[in-house]
Amino acid sequence: CSGAGSGFGMIVIQRTVSRMATSASMRVQAFSWIALAPSAAGLLGPLLGGSLIDIYGYRYAFAALGCLPLITLLASQWVPHQPASEVKVPNASRPERIRDLLVDIPMRRLLFIDWVVVASWDVHGFVVPILGHERGFSATAVGAIFAAFGAASIIVRLIIPMISKHLSSRMLMTGSVVLAAVAFAIYPLLQSVWAMAMCAFAFGLALGSVQPAILTTLHDVTPDNRHGEALALRSTFSQSSMLVMPLVFGAIGTAVGSGFLLWMMAGFLGAGSWQVRRLFGALESPRIPRV
């Protein structure tokens, strides 16, 4: 129930934000602010939950955490609501299916790019502790590497809203995917904690900036009346990847080693950067087929 509620809530929030934005730069800015919230929650949530458990026990911790969705419900009352009459539905007589989105070439390319980004996140979380163990790092050192990643993702999401007018989705997505590929390529070659922390920081910058660009582009490649379906489709692909890929990564890492797994992921990210180029080339073409 918690997972379903979180999924519904995030899709509705993203859909509402996209309708409130009036330009592409404003959409990037808004999605950057929205992406900052899960990063901050991931930092503060465990601290709050752990502290409540240690001080008051599990029952009171669950009761306190259960108040957060109620606060969200109250806050939603101040969000401007869009009347249904403002939503324009072209070709209302023609039935709409998810398959219509999947056969759209830009949509398929964007889903592949998003899958590569989500998979790289999983690989990073899976492999870094293994590399740290192989190099004899302490648990504190491994935690510092992940802290560098988390700090970078928060910092970049604070910066992007301030410079969104000067950055296009194409620049953000291309730069982020290439930076992530470079970080993964050099990760296995590093031996010190500080070097790996710097690499994790670079990877955090990449992933922190690519998500707003992906969400903005998602709204550019789908009709206005199908943005909610597109967001749900993206979420389905992402969650399916998070369910299946760790098992695949574990098998590959056991067979050929964690370093090879990072290099393989760097290759996938390189393919993702190529798809970014083709995606925006198609969007800028007047002959692009639309759903």
Per run of 10 residues, the mean pLDDT along the chain (length 291 residues) is: 82 80 74 77 74 87 89 87 56 60 76 85 84 84 84 83 73 86 89 90 87 78 74 75 74 76 87 83 56 44
Q: What is the pLDDT of residues 257-272, one digit of tens each?
A: 777 888 888 898 888 8
Q: How far is CA 237 from CA 40, 121, 123, 212, 251, in A?
A: 24, 14, 16, 17, 21
The pLDDT value given to residue 94: 55
From the list 234, 236, 245, the residue with the least C-alpha distance to 268 is 245
Q: In whole angstroms, what is the distance from residue 257 CA to residue 127 CA?
A: 10
The pLDDT value given to residue 29: 76
Q: Is 54 exposed, middle or buried (0-12, 13-18, 19+ CB in 10 A)?
A: exposed
For residues 126 and 265, the answer to whether their CB atoms sit within 8 Å is no
The pLDDT value given to residue 290: 46
Q: What is the pLDDT of residues 212-258, one digit of tens each?
A: 778 778 777 777 777 777 777 777 777 777 777 777 777 777 777 77
The pLDDT value given to residue 201: 92
